[in-house]
Amino acid sequence: MTESELTRLSASRLSDLMEARQVSPVEATEAYLRRIESIDPTLRSYLTVAADSALEQARQAERDFMSGVRRGPLQGVPVALKDQIWTADMPTTNGSQLLRDNIPPEDATVVSKLKAGGAVILGKVHMGEFAGAGMFRRSFPAARNPWNLDRTTGGSSGGSAAATAARLCATALGEDTGGSIRSPASWCGVVGLRPTWGLVSRFGVFAGGWSMDALGPMARTVEDCAITLSAIAGPDPRDAYSSTAPVPDYRSALEGDVRGLRVGIVKELTLGDFVNDEVQSAVLKAVESIGSMGAKLQEVSIPLAAYGNLIMWGILYVEATAIYREWARNSLLEEDDELPITYLVGSVIPAEYYYKAQKLRELLRRQVMEALEEVDVLISPTVESVAPPVSRETPPVTKESVIENLVRAPFMVTPAHPLAGIPAISLTCGFASGEDGMPIGLQIGGRPFEETTVLSLAQAYEQQAGWFKKEPDLSAFGG
């Protein structure tokens, strides 16, 4: 196979060919490393490329295959990690120049699982500073959206999404607090899954907000998300909040038959004026397609979902400030332009505001779970618009603008799911018209620990619609 053919293979297909000894892990890893060297100076998705260790891991995976040793679904598959995740053999910056030389004392649990399963770790990818800043303002140059270099990649897992879309890794890990897997997945035209809170261990991961953080896969297909989730999910004694729920074989659970599945279209997140017309149209067409496959469609109401962003920020400002208290005190002016104000505001938010936000969160969670008694899954757009242009001049972040965010937070679709602790996936359901042609994301949420249902519906739609076959044109940059 040519380098282009190798990097176009899905992670699942690549895994199958490696197991059949038709593709070498070393050959695949070298192809990805050459592609990174060629394209990433333009995209800037990677902060660290670990070529030497990746090749050694690939050689070990090849020896294992030749010896008949099967370690896991990602054996020999090249993976990228959000730089929020600890790695003992390369820097973990948390997106900040303050930590540019930080080598953690040990690997995060998910990294240990990937290595034990024979995965090849290519390196660490871009993120927002401390998983809380906007678009990588000061610490590192902005990563670029492969579909349009003048458009943003999304939230703090934007590097994972950009690298995946540009075929600079076979699959990747991101972290989603309020939408940081799903929003970049939508804007970069890939698949991103936020698992049930607690399904994947967070030991060895810099926190964004402890009560909402979730690690999950970002990949080019739903099946790739399924095998990546299988490789990292499960209980961990080092994470007191990790679940002991059994972990199924998510790939085997992809049935493709959605007949009789009850699908709820969330009115507050889908049908309002705040959703861009093209986004709304693409999502409703996707719903029609899902109905044509035999699913039962109905509209559902989750009134507090419209206020999810307001509730989320009332919690996260306080939690982020508590987590990074020492950084805020000692290195405040060295951080991203946005973070000093965030931490200062978070430190003076009245206790009753946080208390009220937690009460509203519980009410929202109850509304979500009541809706999931009526239906099996919840559907909405992932984000209310396509990826916006990269701002040439970043407006100053002031105390007033942050307070405005708290008091009259702009509408967002993604917070309702992490506030309720449920799984949610984003996958492409179309592209905007005109020259921009940016991807549009469909979001599917489900009951806690029912990732199999969410993944099955997502794959059934994905295979029928075929949007995953479209990829960004990077030929001008050697791709």
pLDDT by residue for the chain (479 residues), tens only, comes to 899 999 999 999 999 999 999 999 999 999 999 999 999 999 999 999 999 999 999 999 999 999 999 999 999 999 999 999 999 999 999 998 888 999 999 999 999 999 999 999 999 999 988 887 543 345 677 899 999 999 999 878 999 999 999 999 999 999 999 999 999 999 999 999 999 999 999 999 999 998 999 999 999 999 999 999 999 999 999 999 999 999 999 999 998 899 999 999 999 999 988 899 999 999 999 999 999 999 999 999 999 999 999 999 889 989 988 888 777 666 655 555 567 777 777 888 899 999 999 999 999 999 999 999 999 999 999 999 999 988 655 556 666 666 666 555 567 899 999 999 999 999 999 999 976 799 999 999 999 999 999 999 999 999 999 999 999 999 887 77
**Full DSSP string of 182-208:** HHHHHHHT-EEEEPPTTSB--TTB--S
pTM for this entry: 0.95
pLDDT for 273 equals 87
Reduce the secondary structure of 136-158 to three states and give it as a string. CCCCCCCCCECCECCECCCCCCH
Tell me which residue of 311, 309, 321 sits closest to 346, measured CA to CA.
321
Q: Which CATH number does 3-477 carry?
A: 3.90.1300.10
- Vertex 417 angle, CA 411 and 418, to 5°: 100
CA distance 363 to 58: 49
Catalytic residues: 82, 156, 180
pLDDT for 226 equals 98
Tokens at 128, concatenated = 């927002």
pLDDT for 330 equals 67
pLDDT for 135 equals 37
Number of H helices, E strands in the chain: 17, 11
pLDDT for 435 equals 65
C-alpha torsion angle, residues 274, 276, 277, 278 (rounded to 10): -160
Cβ(278)–Cβ(453) under 8 Å? no
pLDDT for 136 equals 37
β-pairing, 120-125 vs 171-176, is unpaired
**Full DSSP string of 84-119:** TB--TTS---TT-GGGTT---SS--HHHHHHHHTT-
Give the number of C-alpha atoms closer than 13 A to the C-alpha of residue 444, restricted to the C-beta side.
31
- List of residues 6+ apart from 355 with CB closer than 8 A: none
> Which amino acid type is present at position 378?
L
> Which amino acid type is present at position 427?
L
Tell me, what DSSP letter sits at residue 85?
Answer: B
Tell how far CA 73 is from the center of its chain.
20
pLDDT for 348 equals 85
3 state DSSP class of 173: strand
pLDDT for 347 equals 83
